[in-house]
A and B are shown apart, each in its own frame.
Chain A
């Protein structure tokens, strides 16, 4: 157990942007929300999954909605508490700890505000170890843990509870009502026992995000190279360095789909990389050959300051480095690949781990 202060949130938010792999929503808003809550209600206890009692009740709390709405209609803060309290009253028992559903992007920091207000611990674990666009795309699904009951609350006080026949329906129904709520809401989902968390969640991910954030921000503060520091701490593979030469996007249904093209520089001079994204970066191809494939993490950073770049804010001409990071072992099982692999997103490539694709 350790205490998380407002200054730790800076690091965790930066690390969450790395794990967001280009999507996950802008953690800036989440960071401010978490920081305000800690300022008002005090520091948050971060506990490891192993510290949980087997019969503890743990509930992931998440922000749900469209990125554009989240930056305009800011959260009230009450919606997270309401989704939390509704889960308690629905299940008829106290929640012992909250956790992030998704450590990448905005949702990596969102649950800190509830933990601070309710004065309960936050579990150092999540269901993705990265960001993915759908509620069912979590390791919990791989373990047969149902998303339901799902509690949902908006800033106006509207509340819902869902029992869905499977986890895909959870995303579908919550997504539909979220639009009517004005495009954003808070959800409580995947209520779990401590025992289930230990088995199904990705452990120590919040601490990992903090380590990545520290690597970047501390290197900058100490005038060291933040790119090297990040690669070292993340155990990442440097896949490509170059300059953004084109970005094309289209919205397909609910996804922000697109391709980013990068022209090689330095030792990649003469090569060309394409980065396919659907909210998150999912497929990197160098001169037509895949070199990183979802669920492995593809991270785009600014070559100068290691600032992670989201798919929405890619800028022509930026010098960038593309990093590859291994997905958690749970994602690399046949079930994991089926749920978060290339076919799920409509790519014809088959998943091959980055370390094999990039064997020297």
Chain B
């Protein structure tokens, strides 16, 4: 028997669960997120180890979900100076690299962008040959000015060799200290979006290396020898080495973990998941135990990419959401006291009426340090000049309406489907929701995100374009599947657990005989 620990670092709380081999939760905790992040993680892991009494040696895997990279991008902190080489002249010249980036981000990354000759047509013919002298000349110019490099070639998704060649030259000239991001490894078809993803990835490599180092250190300081993983945006895991190479893929792993965790806790395969936090309720759709992805390209830190993020809709209902009454009309949020609940909320002798105050008064939730229930009721009445019962009724009605709208928005058809509540603020959700066949409050729902990180699988995907006159699409798809499968097994997937999530042949408009092939597979970790 072995065990796993799942950790989720949020803006307010760092949650952890300790789980047995067969995914039973033995211990869970919510600790305050610390400024240095590591201390919060250490506290959470220590707690679940002590409470469960499981020996350190028996912990085989630790999975971490973190917003570290997202925050670095949003706050423009600790980002690397990035150089970029786009392979494709004379094509693509009209739209320079980083042209649609926010100005402040351009400034932080520096402007070391070069276009070189090369790239491929959709059918594999070269647009122009790659010129070694030209590339090396630019690499020498960048030398000393950049910390990492992004390389993007036209149609590199089908033929990555030119990107790889440039990467090799970069390594010769710039040395090992400058990490290289090749676009064919981080994005899909669509040059600008893929180039943007490669640049963001390059920008995050410094932060990611530090994060990985700190995580390793934290774990080894605790005397643990477990294998470590970090969650990525599609609900699957990456090894720490992969995270150093592809940090951009960790962005937005949080909602994915919650949705998958809630699905697994409630055993609901298809339904709506609502994750209630301190500031918002985030709703997502669960389809066959995976989050439904948005078809809109995601903006990350103001930059357009072609990542498919979970399709999440947020509404302003959370534990710290501020409630206001004008005469007898109730206005909920959208602002929140956030992590300052214990300083600002009425239940803690603060001066702000929050949603949590009502639920503490109703004994729906107990939070240490709150004043007596009867005192909360009278304080609320005093503050708003409306009787407590009436205020409660209006507030609940208002939550009901907002949540019903949220559920309706997420649903694809008129049929009633299950709604699963999760997150620290799940107590705010009503027990009956219009459009829901049932509302489930599964055990351990407050740590669904950490549990989601724990049960995550590993995955691999590829998308290429082929000409059906040169290649049979069915056999090309099988070949691609073999390649993707081999990589997944190499990454540590259990052979019999491998499942095909996407296997598509899409013909392309205006290009007779040309099709796009896409494969995505996932599997459980060997032994997990």
Q: Which residues of A contact B (CB under 8 A)?
A: 29, 32-33, 35-37, 65-69, 71-78, 113, 155-157, 175, 179, 182-183, 243-245, 250-251, 253-256, 263, 279, 313-317, 319
Q: Which residues of B contact A (CB under 8 A)?
A: 88-96, 99-100, 119, 121-123, 125, 127-128, 154-155, 189-193, 285, 292, 294-296, 311, 409-414, 465, 506-512, 516
8 tightest A-B contacts by CB?
A: A77-B94, A251-B507, A66-B510, A74-B92, A182-B121, A256-B509, A315-B295, A317-B412
> With A68-B516, A72-B122, A183-B122 in contact, do A251 and B508 touch (Cβ < 8 Å)?
yes
In the complex the two chains form, is A74's CB within 8 Å of B88's CB? Answer: yes
Q: How many residue pairs, one in A and one in B, have C-beta atoms under 8 Å apart?
A: 136
In the complex the two chains form, is B509's CB within 8 Å of A254's CB? Answer: yes
> With A183-B121, A263-B414 in contact, do A76 and B91 touch (Cβ < 8 Å)?
yes
Interface of A is mostly: mixed
In the complex the two chains form, is A77's CB within 8 Å of B512's CB? Answer: no
For A314, the chain B residues whose CB sits under 8 A away are 295
In the complex the two chains form, is A315's CB within 8 Å of B192's CB? Answer: no
> With A68-B516, A71-B190 in contact, do A113 and B155 touch (Cβ < 8 Å)?
no
For B295, the chain A residues whose CB sits under 8 A away are 313-315
**17 contacts across the A-B interface (CB closer than 8 A):** A32-B94, A35-B99, A66-B508, A68-B516, A71-B193, A73-B155, A74-B95, A76-B90, A76-B93, A155-B127, A157-B90, A182-B125, A245-B413, A253-B512, A279-B509, A314-B295, A315-B311
Minimal Cβ-Cβ distance residue in A for B125: A182
Minimal Cβ-Cβ distance residue in B for A304: B409
Q: Which of B95, B121, B127, B128 is A75 in contact with, Cβ under 8 Å?
A: B95
Q: How far is the CA of A315 from the CA of B88 in the complex (A)?
A: 32
> With A73-B127, A245-B413 in contact, do A29 and B95 touch (Cβ < 8 Å)?
yes
In the complex the two chains form, is B285's CB within 8 Å of A317's CB? Answer: yes
In the complex the two chains form, is B296's CB within 8 Å of A73's CB? Answer: no
For B94, the chain A residues whose CB sits under 8 A away are 32-33, 36-37, 74-77, 113
Q: How far is the CA of A120 from the CA of B207 in the complex (A)?
A: 49
In the complex the two chains form, is B90's CB within 8 Å of A179's CB? Answer: no
Shortest B84–chain A CB gap in Å is 14
Shortest B250–chain A CB gap in Å is 25
Q: How far is the CA of A288 from the CA of B231 in the complex (A)?
A: 47
Shortest A10–chain B CB gap in Å is 11
In the complex the two chains form, is B409's CB within 8 Å of A65's CB? Answer: no
In the complex the two chains form, is B127's CB within 8 Å of A72's CB? Answer: no
For B95, the chain A residues whose CB sits under 8 A away are 29, 32-33, 36, 74-75
Given contacts A73-B121, A175-B510, 5 further A-B contacts (CB under 8 A): A29-B192, A73-B91, A74-B91, A76-B94, A182-B121
For B508, the chain A residues whose CB sits under 8 A away are 66, 68, 251
In the complex the two chains form, is A183's CB within 8 Å of B93's CB? Answer: no
Minimal Cβ-Cβ distance residue in A for B297: A313
